[in-house]
Structure 1
Amino acid sequence: MIEIKSNREDTQKKLSEQIYHVNQLIEKSNIEVLFYVLMETKLQEEYRQLQKLKEQQCQLRDLIQTDFTQFKQISSIRDLFVKPFNKNQINFLENVCWCSVDYLNFFILANNSSQNKINFCLDDFDPSHNKNWKQHQEKQQRGPPTYKYDYYYPRQCQGFGLKIDKFGQDKNWIKKDGNQNEWRILYHGTKHHFVTSIVQTGLKPGPGQSYQNDVGVGVYFSDRISVTQGYSNEVPIGTRKFRVAIMSRCKPQSVKQSQSMQSSNIFVVNNIQDIRPYRILLYEQA
């Protein structure tokens, strides 16, 4: 065992914990940090053992790569939070971001870049509605009998559920059973620095109103996630690049599309009361 040395006073040393293979001083009061460091240490040891086996048996390659991916993720978590330690970010990481540091860093960047200085927090999210659609088909017909439409799954995206209690007790609008009050699913591409204000105050018409003469002023949407990329910005997070879109339900009677908009798969909703954002979508660029 390697003892962690420090130049601090003896009283400070008594508050510290000795950790195998980790040459740094960890405060005992930082329970979450200790937990992540210990997880990292365990994965390091497992990786060393697997590396030895790899030299003997080539067929263990895939297993080793999987384990090392886990090790790198836990290592990144430790590096992010030891200096400085932030309990609120740990909670957000665990409850909203599925322990993905890259997702957490995106939301931190969105908060820090907010033009209106409005920050969201854990209470704005409903992690029970986090979702991805990797195994889904391309599309499915949705809506009530009087308003059928093709719903194109956002298969390339990771979705983060938002709280919807502010929209009232009646949840028929968000169901997918074809009831008469079910609202249509559409996507709104946006810049990352607008995300916090959208979460807090909803979607609002922007300055670009290309089809104003046809359908009036409103919020622009598409039924294809690929179209929204033209309205979002690329956000580098570590070695990955993300774009963001807002998954919304829109009142069917309020969704407009002129003939000139059809080829671009673009729609407009004039009344913001007929728009209900309920997921943040992160699209990872290849």
Structure 2
Amino acid sequence: MIEIKNNREDTQKKLSEQIYHVNQLIEKSNIEVLFYVLMETKLQEEYRQLQKLKEQQCQLRDLIQTDFTQFKQISSIRDLFVKPFNKNQINFLENVCWCSVDYLNFFILANNSSQNKINFCLDDFDPSHNKNWKQHQEKQQRGPPTYKYDYYYPRQCQGFGLKIDKFGQDKNWIKKDGNQNEWRILYHGTKHHFVTSIVQTGLKPGPGQGYQNDVGIGVYFSDRISVTQGYSTEVPIGTRKFRVAIMSRCKPQSVKQSQQMQSSNIFVVNNIQDIRPYRILLYEQA
């Protein structure tokens, strides 16, 4: 009986077709059922493909919607600021601002809010010295043998190079090879409406002279970009927020720091002739 049963099952398998996805045997002689199951399987596969395509379309739609929102924001800024520009101002966007409308918008705001009504232009900048420090280490020892110091990189900043020809032909002060005339790197936090006057006429002592009795009247600096945030204001540009600092070289012999200033990482330079601003730094708030 067992042998007869096995033979019957073998015969049934030969007369049947195994349908993928359905996991059952359909008799080959039953054409209508076989056709129906095959069609059902095909439709199920097509449905799965359609669902997958629908998900991809939804993702694409969301991506397009996001890009379109950003495009509208950028277009509104371009309509507001870029269209009235002449060729030189368009060059400012392309060369100084790395084609970033947000950076351009910041400089326009700085120009428009300048208390001295002094406007800077492309000629004030040296785009070849634009820089960021994202891949740099935290600090490096710099300076000549007699004035060694720790230089803390402004890793969170975008730097915009300024022209330095007005400081003379000798460029030893700005080098980083440890020569005897190399000047120290320090940061000065400021408000955006002071940027244009600083670019045009340099840094000058402000009204806040908290350590005047210790070190005299002068321009305040820090060797840490984080400290400068306490002396700058947050500037909203579109969906981003920036603070500004001035990257300067200071004559080492003129840099002062009292004992009370050490814990705050604050320095003072009394003589403005011993200060040379050479980069604008934009720090983006998270």
For normalisation by structure 2, the TM-score amounts to 0.75
Moved more, 17-26 or 247-256: 17-26
8 A Cα contact 1:218 1:268, kept in partner:
yes
Map Cα deviations across residues 23-67 of structure 1 (whole Å, 9 max, x no partner).
999999999999999999999999999999895499999998998
Conserved 8 A contact 1:3-1:18:
no
CA offset digits 1:200-245 (Å, max 9, x no partner): 0000000100000000000000000000001111111111111100
Q: CA deviation at 1:91?
A: 1.3
Mapped contact 1:160–1:280 kept (Cα < 8 A): yes
Deviates more, 1:195-204 or 1:6-15: 6-15
- Distance verdict in 2 for CA 1:74–1:213, change over 3 Å: closer
1:95 CA drift (Å) = 1.0
1:84 CA displacement: 3.5
Partner SS state of residue 276, structure 1: strand
Corresponding residue SS for 1:236: strand
| 8 A Cα contact 1:44 1:71, kept in partner | no
**Alignment RMSD (CA, Å):** 20.8
Q: Would the alpha carbon gap of residues 84 and 167 (structure 1) be closer, same or farther in structure 2, given more than 3 Å must change?
A: closer
Q: Distance in 1 between matches of 2:31 and 2:189?
A: 39
Deviation (angstroms), 1:6: 86
Closer, same or farther: CA 194–82 of 1 in aligned 2, 3 Å: closer
| Equivalent pair of 2:82/2:90 in contact (CA under 8 Å) | no
- For each residue in 1:101-149, what CA deviation from the matched residue of structure 2 results, as whole angstroms up to 9, or x when unmatched? 0100110111111111111100000000000001111000000111110
Residues 142-188 of structure 1 show CA distances to partners (whole Å, capped at 9, x for unaligned) of 00111110000000100000000000000000000000100000000
3-state secondary structure, aligned to 1:110: helix
Instruction: Name the CA shift for 1:78/1:105 in 2 (closer, same or farther; >3 Å).
Output: closer
Quickly say closer, same or farther: Cα 1:281–1:54, change in 2 above 3 A. Answer: farther
Q: Secondary structure at the match of 2:221?
A: strand
**Corresponding residue for 2:71?**
71
Residue 52 (1) aligns with residue 52 (2): yes
Distance 2:12 2:107 in 1: 34
Moved more, 156-165 or 72-81: 72-81
- Secondary structure of the residue aligned to 1:9 is helix
**Equivalent pair of 1:222/1:267 in contact (CA under 8 Å):** yes
166-175 vs 15-24, which moves further: 15-24
Using the alignment, how far apart are the partners of 1:98 and 1:14 within structure 2?
73
Which residues of 2 match residues 1-286 of structure 1 at below 5 A?
Answer: 55-56=55-56, 75=75, 78-80=78-80, 83-286=83-286
Q: Distance in 1 between matches of 2:140 and 2:67?
A: 36
Task: Check the 8 A contact 1:160/1:279 in 2, yes or no.
Answer: yes
Residues 85/61 of structure 1: CA separation in 2 closer, same or farther (3 Å cut): same
Tell me, yes or no, if the aligned pair for 1:36 and 1:77 is still in contact at 8 Å: no
Q: Conserved in 1, the CA contact under 8 Å of 2:162 and 2:280?
A: yes
CA contact (8 A) 1:234 1:243 kept: yes
Secondary structure of the residue that 2:163 maps to in structure 1?
coil
Structure 2, unaligned stretches of length 5 or more? none
CA offset digits 1:76-113 (Å, max 9, x no partner): 67544675354332111001000000100110111111
1:183 and 1:12 mapped to 2: Cα distance?
Answer: 95
CA separation in 2, counterparts of 1:2 and 1:165? Answer: 104
Structure 1 pair 46–177 and aligned structure 2 pair: CA distance change class (3 A): farther
Please identify which structure carries the higher helix content. 2
Instruction: Note the residue ranges of structure 1 that are not aligned, 5 or more in a row.
Output: none
Distance in 2 of aligned mates of 1:136 and 1:13: 71
Distance change >3 Å, CA 114–CA 141, structure 1 → 2: same
CA separation of 1:238 and 1:203: change in aligned 2, threshold 3 A: same
